[in-house]
């Protein structure tokens, strides 16, 4: 099995300066730069990546910035993206109000079906949304559990001929890579970081994950890169 980990394109929250962080959105879309990045990502995947080993499966988190990033990739590959709820960013769907984290359910099944026709949706995605709003800000322990659950599913597929792309988020991809490679969660001074639309490739061989490259943004000029 071959695995590509992809961070979403630049979101509206990513572009906020420190002094304007109070304008943070619960489920932000993409910036104009983000739309450029995702289109260049799609071209790169079909060309430089897809020519050597065409992708067979495309998964995305249910957060809007990830759904939007996956769209041109899916169209270019001719693959219907599957929403994988465990791929969402650390903290979940929340907004800070008066020092308290208020949870939100996220986009509903009807809203995603309307805005992203053809996406494969899990049964757990309902008209109440996909995130358990009662959690507020997701606990670290739950984030780690999700990362290990995804890593375990990937191990189940490791002997297959699948070529998988996961579109997810910087914080979660860090935890996922730690889970894949057996690192301690949040080990002091160590983090796997991804720029917007950066790609990491891992091949599974003889039961072991092999990191071929990480955080590559070859598809973006220097002035189109963001963090």
The pLDDT tens digits of the residues spanning 124-136 come to 999 999 999 999 9
Taking residue 75's Cβ as centre, other Cβ atoms within 10 Å add up to 13
DSSP SS3 for 112: helix
As a whole-number percent, the residues of the chain with pLDDT over 70 amount to 92
Q: State pLDDT tens for residues 150-175.
A: 999 999 999 999 999 999 999 999 99
Instruction: Supply the pLDDT for residue 186.
Output: 55
pLDDT over threshold 80, residue 53: no
CA angle 192–178–200, rounded 5-degree value = 50
Three-state SS across 17-55? CHHHHHHCCCCCCECHHHHHHHHHHHHHHHHHHCCCCCC
Nearest-5° Cα angle at 123, 150 to 170: 35
Which pTM was predicted? 0.94
List, as own/partner pairs, every contact residues 46-52 make where C-beta atoms lie below 8 angstroms and the sequence separation is at least 24, other chains included: 46/76, 46/77, 48/218, 48/219, 49/4, 49/199, 50/77
Other beta carbons within 10 angstroms of residue 134's beta carbon come to 7
Where is average pLDDT lowest: 62-66, 89-93, 94-98? 94-98
Rounded Cα–Cα distance for residues 30 and 214 (Å): 23
Distance between first and last Cα of the chain: 29
Confidence of residue 16 (pLDDT cuts 50, 70, 90): confident
Quote the CA–CA distance of 70 and 201 in Å, as a whole number. 17
| Cα separations in angstroms, 11 against 60, 102, 119, 125, 153 | 15, 21, 21, 23, 28
Q: In sequence order, what are the beta bridge partners of 58? A: 165
207 confidence band (pLDDT: 50, 70, 90): confident
| Exposed / middle / buried, residue 22 (Cβ in 10 Å: 0-12, 13-18, 19+) | exposed
Question: 175-193 pLDDT, tens per residue?
Answer: 999 999 887 655 656 789 9
């Amino acid at each position: 099995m071959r695995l590509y980990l992809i961070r979403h394109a630049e979101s509206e929250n990513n572009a906020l300066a420190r002094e304007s962080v109070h304008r943070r959105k619960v489920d932000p879309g993409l910036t104009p730069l983000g739309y450029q990045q995702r289109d260049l990502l799609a071209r790169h995947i079909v060309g430089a990546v897809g020519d050597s080993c065409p992708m067979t499966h495309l998964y995305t988190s249910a957060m809007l910035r990830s759904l939007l990033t996956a769209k041109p990739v899916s169209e270019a590959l001719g693959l219907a993206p599957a929403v994988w709820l465990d791929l969402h960013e650390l903290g979940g769907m929340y907004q800070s109000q008066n020092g308290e984290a208020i949870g939100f359910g996220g986009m509903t099944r009807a809203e995603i079906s309307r805005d992203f026709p053809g996406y494969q949706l899990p049964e757990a995605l309902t008209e109440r949304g996909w995130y358990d709003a009662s959690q507020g800000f997701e606990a670290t322990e739950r984030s780690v559990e999700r990362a290990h659950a995804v890593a375990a599913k990937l191990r189940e597929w490791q002997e297959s001929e699948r070529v998988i792309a996961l579109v997810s988020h910087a914080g979660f991809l860090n935890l996922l890579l730690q889970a894949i490679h057996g690192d301690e969660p949040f080990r002091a001074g160590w983090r796997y970081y991804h720029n917007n639309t950066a790609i990491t490739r891992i091949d599974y061989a003889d039961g072991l994950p092999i990191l071929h490259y990480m955080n590559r943004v070859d598809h973006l000029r220097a002035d189109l890169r963001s963090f």
